[in-house]
Amino acid sequence: MIGGTDVVLEIGVGVRAADAILRAVRRHWPRCVYQNADDESAPFTPYEGDWPPQDVDREFFVYRDEEAAKSWDADGATPENDNTMLYIIVPEKPADRTTVPTLTVVCGEPTGEVKIILEDIESSLKEKENGLNGNGVPVASPGVGVRD
């Protein structure tokens, strides 16, 4: 069981949500371990391929590092590994264009380092006035960046 706190964040127009999240997290956790939520294999090593991964599901985990990934795999949520994993849920694009798209980040407690990461993610998800998203990338459709 994951438990924790659900943090709902708005996705700016044209922001590639998964891309923005993964880049923001990696700025704080440079040895982070990425895992699609439906992947049953053990996520024990930091992702070494192109970053961010191109085959990103709508739900995924990002662990602080290899040790955190192993701890979560072996024991689930414990006091020792609290705030060492983020569970990201990026929904389908809303059918109603008047609805502001949001996503959910599940964390232990939004305090300390995780609070700073969440603030960075939130900033990265906002539309930029100059036509670039939070990563300096030209804007695209909100659902781009995750696998359908």
Contact between residue 45 and residue 66 where contact means Cβ atoms under 8 Å apart: yes
Return the pLDDT at 41.
75
> The domain containing residue 30 runs over which residues?
5-124
C-alpha angle with apex 125: 122 to 128, nearest 5 degrees? 115
Domain assignment of residue 136, yes or no: no
Split into its structural domains, the chain has a count of 1
Return the pLDDT at 55.
66
Say whether the peptide bond before residue 79 is cis (omega within 30 degrees of 0): no
Return the pLDDT at 98.
72
Domain assignment of residue 90, yes or no: yes
Domain assignment of residue 148, yes or no: no
Domain assignment of residue 95, yes or no: yes
Domain assignment of residue 68, yes or no: yes
Domain assignment of residue 144, yes or no: no
Return the pLDDT at 54.
64
For each successive 10 residues of the chain (148 residues), what is the average pLDDT?
Answer: 84 88 93 86 66 74 94 92 94 74 93 96 76 50 43
Indicate the residue type of 141. S
